[in-house]
Every structure is written in C-alpha cells, then in structure tokens.
C-alpha cells in the first residue's frame, strides 16, 4: 500500500474530476429518490449511489490504465463482471458514508456558520472555474446532480471531516507509537524505494549569474578549468575537501546547503547526476563538466530507500486512517442495513458511463 493523501469522503477535487469526465445522466427509468438501501431506516437514494458509482468508475479505470489493461468493462474480476464489481463497491461506499453520517448525527456534530460560508466559497470558486453559472448548471445536469444535491455532498463531506477529527483525536487507540511506524515502514519498505544521493561539490563557473545564465568569455572558462584541475590535484594529494570547498567553490547554494544536496534521479543536470550516482560513499569524482561549469563531486551518503524520518508523518496518517476505517466497519456491523437488490440489479438502472 503506497502512502496517498488521506481522503475521508468525496473531496472537492474529486468532484471536479468527476464533473469533467463527461458522464451521462441517471437513467430516467429509476426515480432518483428511490432507495438502493436503508441504514437504520434512513434511505440511501439512487442519486447518492450513482455519485459513488462514478467515483468507483474513475478509480477502476485509473487502476486499469496503470496496469495497461484495455477495455476494463469487458473484463472479469474474480469471476464477476467488472461492472458488477463496480456496483458492489459503490454500494459498499455509499452505505459506509451513510453509517458515518448517522454516527455524526448521534454525536451532535453540526455545521457552523463558518463551515457553511466555506462551502459557499467552494461553490463560488467551483462555478468560476467552470466559466460561470450557465456552465456550472450544465455540468451538474450532466452529472445527474442539482445545485441542492451538490450542496448536500459538500455539507456531508464537512460533517465527515468533523467526525474523523473527533474520533481520531479523542480516543487513545489512535495514538500511533514509534514502533508501529517502524513496523509499517519495514513491512512496506518497497513502497519507499527511491534511490537518493547526498553529495557536496566544488564548482568553478563557466556562466554568469544572469537569468538565464550566459557563457563567460572563453578566457574565463579556461581559467575555471585550470582552477578545477588545481583543486582536484590538491584533493588527490590529501587536502581536506570541505576546507577547499568552503574556500574556492563558486556555488551560490553553498551557504544554504553547507552539508550538501540530497537528490534523486532526474533532479540534477545529467552529467552531475550520472557522476554522483556512480560514486561510492566518501569517493570523489574526476572533474565533471556541465553547462554550469566544472564540478568536483564528493558523495556523502547514498540511500536506496527514503529515510524513515522523511515519511514517518505520512505513515502515521495512514495508520490512523486504517484504524478509523476499522471503527467505521464496527459501526457498520452494528447498523441495520437493508440493500434493495431490485433497484441495484434492475437492468433499467444503467451504470452511468459504464454501460
């Protein structure tokens, strides 16, 4: 499992993705207020279900794209048609959503006036990004939504955020230990594979400080090369690299990064990168020529994986979310859930954008 941005419910950014996906509206043969399920007597409507179905559709198509699978909706997944898997996932998601909303209601979690103002600001920014009210209404119509239903989605999202924060901040079980973080890191270490080098360098410039940099006169470039050769000889003779770097390097970033640069593939100019990755820890390169000048590089450290200190906060959030999801599953088991298979499986209820 790779660390991803934590998503408690349908975010505004996901809404934008879905709105631009060009999905057709809900099939008119099924009334939007007809329930696909009830949770403790509360209806889960077709409109709500369809919204989650579009979310699942996007996720499954993205996963198929990453795995180079073509025509995902013609495939079978563990003996089931892909579209039926999508419907099951959508029902699962919308029911869990309703379970959380009922729990929030039970705990008395409500929107404040500031929350409502924030939602209004979101919708306004949303409308402007679509080019105005007319386009906004067209997009909603294409999604099978109304301004009222979008408002409900945004309000529910805000309530679920409050539920998540209250649940995870007020219960000791959500206190993640250093050992839990370490165990997760070791168990999922391949997810953190990211070959990285920490290197220092002594630079003799062959360009000026303009933007974009311009080549120095040839005599200045020749002088830079002579200096590099001289300092390289002194390093080979045993002089201290750091002392020579601090005295002679013309790198403008030296004051900001006195201990060197840490970088992965594709972050430095090719010649510099290739030299750094080819060196062992403690080894000094030959003189390396790039568009910036002449470099003498010393590798301070190399990492095959991202250090745990760089990812521990992300791991912590993943572990908190996993525990929260277990809590939601517990609430779900305690709830009285009645799916309406007649509506879900009805041939008239097309999986929008899928069938």
Query: Could you tell me which of 11, 91, 96, 92 has the C-alpha nearest to residue 324?
Result: 96
* pLDDT score at 294: 98
Residue 204 has pLDDT above 50, yes or no: yes
Place 14 in a pLDDT band, splitting at 50, 70 and 90: very low
Distance of alpha carbon 126 from alpha carbon 42, whole angstroms:
30
Residue 148 has pLDDT above 90, yes or no: no
* pLDDT score at 33: 54
Place 141 in a pLDDT band, splitting at 50, 70 and 90: confident
* pLDDT score at 289: 97
The more confident residue out of 76 and 176 is 176
Structure tokens at 104: 């929030």
Distance of alpha carbon 47 from alpha carbon 96, whole angstroms:
16
Distance of alpha carbon 276 from alpha carbon 256, whole angstroms:
20
The more confident residue out of 344 and 38 is 38
CATH architecture of 192-305: Roll (3.10)
What residues does each domain of the chain span? Answer: 12-187+311-344, 192-305
Strand blocks (E) in 25-110: 35-39, 42-45, 76-77, 80-81
* pLDDT score at 350: 53
Query: Could you tell me which of 305, 302, 301, 309 has the C-alpha nearest to residue 193?
Result: 305
* pLDDT score at 254: 94
Exposed / middle / buried, residue 229 (Cβ in 10 Å: 0-12, 13-18, 19+) = middle
Residue 140 has pLDDT above 90, yes or no: no
Query: Could you tell me which of 302, 243, 240 has the C-alpha nearest to residue 276?
Result: 302
CATH of domain 12-187+311-344: 1.10.4030.10
* pLDDT score at 27: 38
178-201, pLDDT tens digit by residue?
999 999 999 999 999 989 999 999
Q: How far is CA 133 from the centre of its chain?
A: 30
Provide the whole-model pTM. 0.69
Instruction: Work out the average pLDDT over 191-213.
Output: 93
* pLDDT score at 270: 95
């Amino acid at each position: 499992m790779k660390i991803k941005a934590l998503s408690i419910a349908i975010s505004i950014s996901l809404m934008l993705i879905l709105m631009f996906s060009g999905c057709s509206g809900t099939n008119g043969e099924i009334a939007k207020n007809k329930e696909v399920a009830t949770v403790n007597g509360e209806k889960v409507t077709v409109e709500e279900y369809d919204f989650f179905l579009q979310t699942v559709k996007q996720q499954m198509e993205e996963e198929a794209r990453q795995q180079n699978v073509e025509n995902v909706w013609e495939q079978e997944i563990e003996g089931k048609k892909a579209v039926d898997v999508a419907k099951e996932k959508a029902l699962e998601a919308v029911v869990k959503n309703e379970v959380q909303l009922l729990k929030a209601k039970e705990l008395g979690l409500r929107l404040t006036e500031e929350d409502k103002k924030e939602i209004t600001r979101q919708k306004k920014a949303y409308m402007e990004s679509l080019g105005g009210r007319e386009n906004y209404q067209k997009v909603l119509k294409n999604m099978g939504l109304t301004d009222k239903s979008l408002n409900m989605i945004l309000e529910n999202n805000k309530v679920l955020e409050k539920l998540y924060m209250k649940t995870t901040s007020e219960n000791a079980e959500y206190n993640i230990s250093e050992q839990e973080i370490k165990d997760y890191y070791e168990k999922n270490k391949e997810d953190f594979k990211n070959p990285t080098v920490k290197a220092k360098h002594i630079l003799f410039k062959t360009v000026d400080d303009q933007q974009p940099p311009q080549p120095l006169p040839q005599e200045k470039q020749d002088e830079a090369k002579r200096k590099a050769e001289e300092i390289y000889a002194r390093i080979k003779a045993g002089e201290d690299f750091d002392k020579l770097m601090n005295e002679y390097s013309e790198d403008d970033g030296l004051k900001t990064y006195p201990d060197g640069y840490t970088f992965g593939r594709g972050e430095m100019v090719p010649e510099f990168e290739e030299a750094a990755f080819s060196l062992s820890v403690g080894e000094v390169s030959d003189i390396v020529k790039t568009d910036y000048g002449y470099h003498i590089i010393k590798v301070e450290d190399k990492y095959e994986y991202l250090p745990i200190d760089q990812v521990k906060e992300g791991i912590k959030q993943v572990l908190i979310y996993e525990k929260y999801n277990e809590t939601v599953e517990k609430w779900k088991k305690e709830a009285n859930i009645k799916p309406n298979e007649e509506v879900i499986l009805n041939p008239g209820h097309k999986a929008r954008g899928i069938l």
